[in-house]
Structure 1
Amino acid sequence: MKFCFAILLALGLCASLPTQATTTPYEIGGISIPTELTQQGIPLQLNGAGVRSKFFMDLYVGGLYLPNKADTAANALQQPVAAVSLHIISGLITADKMRAAISEGFNEATAGNTEAIQADISRFMGLFEEEIKEGDQFLLYTSKETGVSAYKNGQLQDTIAGEAFRQALLNIWLGDAPAQGSLKKAMLGR
């Protein structure tokens, strides 16, 4: 009887523990990010998120959203859509620094072979001409059908077509030479 009571008590305690509902924001780096979002009518779930740091300074919280969970870059890139969210958490990020980081990211993501997508990269970098400040949020929604739709603080900035550009953009965070290895692992839920 005591054994049954102990099991029932343990089950009751487990059942009363809080669970993370899909609508509950995920907390990381002092930022709440949604665990799911719908973009262009397609529901996406947070695959993973982490903090991008440089020289011991936290710069942004990056999240990867996919229709289906993926724990490898290859699986993430094969999905028809994906979104990367960037929540700026440092006032040290300027438009100039962001453009330099993006340029370096594309160079690393393509092993220096940017010629075929250089016009797309230039157009994308033009989206970062305006001031960037702490609290700004970027969403880079990528689709194999339509390319990359870039949003800043919820406002569509531009859509750039092309699968090669889409793959290169995602590889900035998920490729063999990512912006930060620990962020890649976090985005892949590892």
Structure 2
Amino acid sequence: MKKITLVLVALMALTSATAQIRVGSKAVLPYEQTFADTDLKLNGAGLREMLWIDLYAGGLYLQNKSKDPKEILDADETMAIKLNIVSGFVTQKKMIKAVKDGFGKATFGNTKALDERITKFIKFFSEPIVKNDIFDLVYVKGVGVKAYKNDKELGVIEGRDFKYALFKIWLGDEPASEPLKKGMLGLQ
């Protein structure tokens, strides 16, 4: 009986260990996530670095793997981006600036149609951001983008056009980080 219990515990530990992936030396992302009753699989992951400092790990979760950013951006299906903050250099102020800059690049400077929703989204970063915080940006088909911080829902931003611009921050032609984009697309 002890041997069976020991084997079961070992198998459970092995299953738990293989259900996640290490990104860089500090971040761990799950291979699978469920949002809005939809099972998503890790498409790919990478690091956002600046001056050789790891800032955050990012993972893209899709229903079906894809290496085509245009296909992903155009898709009207539930998907998610997970950001795992691994550095104290990522602060509330810097995150807000990065998000604003990202939307500017994603829309070629024409944010007018999204301005109210961008302002609402930025309010999701009203609390301090610290190392080990995890943000989930989940597009739920027919609902909009649900934002979570450490599994706590922060709110919803409606509109597929908002999802397109938000995901384009990481997957567009001028991404926040080219290596992170390639990692999320499973190209690295």
Q: TM-score range by the shorter chain?
A: 0.7 to 0.9
Cα distance between partner residues in 1 of 2:123 and 2:66: 31
1:23 Cα offset (Å): 5.5
Mapped pair 1:52 → 2:48: yes
Instruction: Work out whether residues 36 and 140 of structure 2, in 8 Å CA contact, stay in contact via their aligned partners in 1.
Output: no
Instruction: Show the counterpart of 2:107.
Output: 110
Bigger CA drift: 99-108 or 23-32? Answer: 23-32
Partner of 2:58, secondary structure, is strand
Instruction: Work out whether residues 117 and 165 of structure 1, in 8 Å CA contact, stay in contact via their aligned partners in 2.
Output: yes
Partner of 2:121, secondary structure, is helix
| Superposition map of 1:154-165 within 5 A | 154-165=151-162
Bigger CA drift: 46-55 or 22-31? Answer: 22-31
Instruction: Show the counterpart of 1:28.
Output: 23
Partner of 1:68, secondary structure, is coil
Cα distance between partner residues in 1 of 2:139 and 2:72: 11
1:22 Cα offset (Å): 9.9
| Superposition map of 1:55-74 within 5 A | 55-74=51-70
Which amino acid is 2:173 matched to? D
- Calculate percent identity across the aligned residue pairs: 42
Instruction: Work out whether residues 66 and 79 of structure 1, in 8 Å CA contact, stay in contact via their aligned partners in 2.
Output: no
Which amino acid is 1:34 matched to? P
1:21 Cα offset (Å): 8.9
Cα distance between partner residues in 1 of 2:62 and 2:111: 26
For structure 1, the 5+ residue unaligned runs are: 1-18
Q: Which structure has the bigger radius of gyration?
A: 1
Bigger CA drift: 49-58 or 166-175? Answer: 49-58
Instruction: Work out whether residues 76 and 160 of structure 2, in 8 Å CA contact, stay in contact via their aligned partners in 1.
Output: no
Partner of 1:93, secondary structure, is coil
1:76 Cα offset (Å): 1.5
Instruction: Show the counterpart of 1:100.
Output: 97
1:167 Cα offset (Å): 0.4
Distance 1:70 1:22, change over 3 A: farther
Instruction: Show the counterpart of 2:7.
Output: none
User: Alignment length, in residue pairs?
Assistant: 172
Instruction: Work out whether residues 52 and 180 of structure 1, in 8 Å CA contact, stay in contact via their aligned partners in 2.
Output: yes
What TM-score, normalized to structure 2? 0.87
